[in-house]
Amino acid sequence: VSLGEFDLIARYFDAPAPGAVLGIGDDCALWSPSPGQHLALSCDTLVEGRHFLPDVDPIALGHKALAVNLSDLAACGARPCCFLLAATLPRVDEPFLAGFSQGLRALAAAHRIDLVGGNTTAGPLAFTLTVMGEVPPGQALLRSAAQPGDDLWVSGTLGEARLALMALQGQVKLGTAQLRQARVALEQPQPQVALGLALRGVARAAIDLSDGLLADLGHILQRSGPTGRPLGARIACDALPLGTVLQSQPVAMQQACALAGGDDYQLCFTAAASAATQVAAAGERCGVRLTKIGCLLEPGAGVQVNDGHGRVLATPQQGFDHFRVAPA
Amino acid sequence: VSLGEFDLIARYFDAPAPGAVLGIGDDCALWSPSPGQHLALSCDTLVEGRHFLPDVDPIALGHKALAVNLSDLAACGARPCCFLLAATLPRVDEPFLAGFSQGLRALAAAHRIDLVGGNTTAGPLAFTLTVMGEVPPGQALLRSAAQPGDDLWVSGTLGEARLALMALQGQVKLGTAQLRQARVALEQPQPQVALGLALRGVARAAIDLSDGLLADLGHILQRSGPTGRPLGARIACDALPLGTVLQSQPVAMQQACALAGGDDYQLCFTAAASAATQVAAAGERCGVRLTKIGCLLEPGAGVQVNDGHGRVLATPQQGFDHFRVAPA
């Protein structure tokens, strides 16, 4: 801990936290939760070279660092309340910190939540955020609540974040306008907080898509089935909602990005078939596109991905790795 | 995020969390706070090469990663409830993770708190923990509550962690038995949680000693004084409680380590002179040595460190850096 830490905190991160009893500046933040609510807690780390490139726009990085955490609250149907930031910085880079703080604060303001505490230390560039949300007891959306026969839904569009990353890494060639559009998906994901709230009591299981649809769906299937016997699922590949830039790519690229791309930060959730109207209404209320992409099957049925001609493209025996693009 | 993340979590970190509504394995942990309590929130990061050496004992590191965070709760008089762990790992080193987990869990069990969530990612070795505690409204110990005339107290002994670090870095020569003893202070700090609870309603301001007595006291003085006019303080150097290994060192080394050493994780607090009996009783109840090392002065009086002959050793004009040992 350097003596400069306190100046840094004051300059870039110490703003009033009206939602807190006590914000930044003491050993702990103090916060008064709403009576009778459960707290939803999550933390996520972004590391340079792993989750973002050295030349990242700091405003976009500040946005994304909070967005990926709010996405976890969204997946539980929790209302965001406040967050803490642990920043590890190799040096004092004021323009970078100013940008990071700006992006972070803009998204926090949009969700009316406060940065209530945290710490900075010297070290390799990384940011760990811990978010706190509230959800009424029994109303959280859990990975473990899916049932065979449920419809399988996703919000928004899939795969374009991975396409942008591949373009930035020179693995795919995109036009300037196309790259600019795809980068929005990669760098400015919008956590589906309002949708998560609207799906309380409507959806059964939910998860946010950070590692790619097949991998993340796998967690729902595993936790919703009996021990060691994950539920199965059938996905109609043609139904996957793709962004317009990804639509211009070859079908194999579309499928790889949408099924295993990662970094989508959309919600994947299941709901009883009888709840389809309510699901659609929740999407309309939130202004979020919702797409039914398949259904859940009995334990042992595996994961079947069908193309438009009814052919099976992948099964869990072929493994999620089959579609997995090399990690960043 | 690698596919191996989930195995790692399961093997080393996913234990039952009876205090939580929902522990590790979903997008969020769910936890039900006690009615009517305020939450105390804090996070701290340990980075390899900065906060620990590459050859650190992983059991000790797991202990310390949680201890430094519990120490923040102790400084607020909060009761620890649960915590999250964000681990950034350069590789899967199973013996290291097993040791880290063992040290972490042992201290968590001693304080009856659960690891309820977190995440692991690839990157330079670092651990960020976020701790949650509870404190009745209005009873938290704050840095801002000191008053001129207050007695100044510290718990335990000071400076031996820094002495151990200097010995490990070859800047000081210690015998084998001495080094072993001093390393306990550096690697196995015991957060003064029980003392923090016992000081509710007894102490005024409190802080935990992580950056060194003068630096940390400076935060109390700054936040307790009017804006821009920190309170003053007088410290009797001879009164500083030193561990037995540090007592064998030259006086200049004793003073440097005790005043500016850092990594003590003892509590420094102020209390009205009329509360001295209650303070002593709190220490006895907790089995913790408490030492009155000075008193607080009016704003503008500066920080005076007096030796046994009444001579002033340091003032804030000379700066805290005067005593500051080079950071690790």
In which residue are the tokens 């651990």 written?
Answer: B127
CA distance B46 to chain A (A): 8
Q: For residues B21 and A56, which has the higher predicted lDDT (pLDDT)?
A: A56
pLDDT in tens, B156-179: 999 999 999 999 999 999 999 999
Q: For all residues of chain B together, what is the average pLDDT? A: 90
CB-based contact, B133 to chain A, within 8 Å: yes
CB-based contact, B138 to chain A, within 8 Å: no
pLDDT for A13 beyond 70: yes
Task: Kindly state the average pLDDT of the residues B233-248.
Answer: 95
Q: Which residues of A touch B320 (CB under 8 A)?
A: 3
Q: For residues A311 and B10, which has the higher predicted lDDT (pLDDT)?
A: A311
The answer to whether B143 and A28 have CB atoms below 8 angstroms apart is no
pLDDT for B1 beyond 60: no
Task: Kindly state the average pLDDT of the residues B64-89.
Answer: 96
Give pLDDT, residue B163: 96
Give pLDDT, residue B175: 95
Task: Kindly state the average pLDDT of the residues A209-219.
Answer: 94
pLDDT for B264 beyond 70: yes
Which residue of A21, A40, A84 is in closest CB contact with B30?
A40
Neighbours of A295 (CB within 10 A): 17
Give pLDDT, residue A2: 46
Task: Kindly state the average pLDDT of the residues A120-128.
Answer: 92
pLDDT for B316 beyond 50: no
CA distance B259 to B40: 28
Nearest residue of A to residue B88, measured between CA atoms: A45
Yes or no, beta carbons of B119 and A32 under 8 Å apart: no
Of the candidates A89, A252, A75, the residue with the CA atom closest to the CA atom of residue A163: A252
pLDDT in tens, A241-292: 999 999 999 998 999 999 998 899 999 999 999 999 999 999 999 999 999 9
The band of A23, judged by pLDDT with boundaries at 50, 70 and 90, is confident
Query: How big is the A-B interface in CB pairs under 8 Å?
Result: 204
CA distance A283 to A289: 6
Q: Which contacts qualify for A55-59: CB closer than 8 Å, 24 or more apart?
A: A56/A187, A57/A99, A57/A187, A58/A95, A58/A96, A58/A97, A58/A98, A58/A99, A58/A100, A58/A102, A58/A103, A59/A99, A59/A100, A59/A102, A59/A103, A59/A106
Give pLDDT, residue B115: 92
Q: What percentage of chain A exceeds 90 in pLDDT? A: 74
Give pLDDT, residue A323: 38
The band of B225, judged by pLDDT with boundaries at 50, 70 and 90, is very high
Give pLDDT, residue B308: 74
Yes or no, beta carbons of B45 and A88 under 8 Å apart: yes
Yes or no, beta carbons of B31 and A38 under 8 Å apart: yes
CA distance B309 to chain A (A): 31
Nearest residue of B to residue A83, measured between CA atoms: B41
pLDDT for A26 beyond 90: no
The token duo for B140 is 């938290």
Task: Kindly state the average pLDDT of the residues B9-20.
Answer: 73
pLDDT in tens, A221-255: 999 999 989 999 999 999 999 999 999 999 989 99
pLDDT for B284 beyond 90: yes
CB-based contact, A10 to chain B, within 8 Å: no
pLDDT for A319 beyond 50: no
The band of A6, judged by pLDDT with boundaries at 50, 70 and 90, is low
Task: Kindly state the average pLDDT of the residues A81-104.
Answer: 92
CA distance A72 to chain B (A): 5
Q: Which residues of B touch A28 (CB under 8 A)?
A: 40-42, 72-73, 75-76, 78, 133, 140
Q: Which residues of B touch A33 (CB under 8 A)?
A: 33, 39
Taking phi over 0 as left and psi of -120 to 50 as alpha, with beta for the rest, B22 belongs to: beta
CB-based contact, B86 to chain A, within 8 Å: yes
Give pLDDT, residue B53: 85
Which residue of B45, B119, B207 is in closest CB contact with A86?
B45
Which residue of B26, B41, B219 is in closest CB contact with A76?
B26
pLDDT in tens, B93-147: 889 999 999 999 999 999 999 999 888 888 999 999 999 999 999 999 999 999 9
Q: What percentage of chain A exceeds 70 in pLDDT? A: 92
Q: For residues B308 and A316, which has the higher predicted lDDT (pLDDT)?
A: B308
The band of B91, judged by pLDDT with boundaries at 50, 70 and 90, is confident
Yes or no, beta carbons of B123 and A126 under 8 Å apart: yes
CA distance A52 to A110: 23
Q: Which residues of B touch A123 (CB under 8 A)?
A: 45, 47, 49-50, 124, 126
pLDDT in tens, A126-165: 999 999 999 999 999 999 999 999 999 999 999 999 999 9
Those of residues 21-40 in B touching chain A at CB distance below 8 A are 21-22, 25-33, 35-36, 38-40
CA distance B273 to chain A (A): 24
The 3-state secondary structure of chain A reads: CCCHHHHHHHHHHCCCCCCCCECECECCEEECCCCCCEEEEEEEEEEECCCECCCCCHHHHHHHHHHHHHHHHHHHCCEEEEEEEEEEECCCCHHHHHHHHHHHHHHHHHCCCEEEEEEEEECCCEEEEEEEEEECCCCCCEHHHCCCCCEEEEECCECHHHHHHHHHCCCCCCCHHHHHHHHHHHHCCCCCHHHHHHCCCCCCEEEECCCCHHHHHHHHHHHHCCCCCCCEEEEEHHHCCECHHHHCCCHHHHHHHHHHCCCCCCEEEEECHHHHHHHHHHHHHHCCCEEEEEEEECCCCCEEEECCCCCEEECCCCCHHHHCCCCC
pLDDT in tens, B18-68: 777 887 778 888 998 899 999 999 999 999 988 888 889 999 999 999 999
CA distance A182 to A175: 10
